[in-house]
Amino acid sequence: MSVFNLTLDYSILETFLSQIRNTSIHQDRMRFRRNLERIGEIMAYEISKKLPIHSEEIQTPLAKMQVRELSHQPVLATILRAGLPLHAGFLNYFDVADCGFITAYRHHIEQGFEIRVEYLASPNIEGKTLILIDPMLATGQSIVSCLTQLLKLGKPQSIYIASVLATETGIQTIQQAFPNVHIYCAAIDQGLNDQQYIVPGLGDAGDLCFGDKISAN
Instruction: Give the CATH number of the domain where residue 146 resides.
Output: 3.40.50.2020
Instruction: Flag whether pLDDT at 198 surpasses 90.
Output: yes
Q: Which residue has the higher pLDDT, 214 or 185?
A: 185
pLDDT in tens, 162-178: 999 999 999 999 999 99
Confidence of residue 30 (pLDDT cuts 50, 70, 90): very high
217 inside domain: no
59 inside domain: yes
10 inside domain: yes
What is residue 34's predicted lDDT score, i.e. its pLDDT? 98
Instruction: Flag whether pLDDT at 183 surpasses 90.
Output: yes
What is residue 204's predicted lDDT score, i.e. its pLDDT? 92
* Parent domain of 201: 2-210
15 inside domain: yes
216 inside domain: no
159 inside domain: yes
Work out how many domains the chain is built from and give that number. 1
215 inside domain: no
Confidence of residue 189 (pLDDT cuts 50, 70, 90): very high
CA distances from residue 114 to 48, 55, 124, 131 in whole angstroms, order as listed? 34, 47, 28, 24
What is residue 104's predicted lDDT score, i.e. its pLDDT? 83
What is residue 217's predicted lDDT score, i.e. its pLDDT? 46
Please give the single-letter amino acid code of residue 163: S
pLDDT in tens, 100-149: 999 987 665 666 667 788 889 999 999 999 999 999 999 999 999 999 99
68 inside domain: yes
pTM metric for this prediction = 0.93
Q: What is the per-residue DSSP string for 87-138?
A: HHHHHHHSTT--EEEEE-EEEE-SSSEEEE---EE----TTSEEEEE-SEES
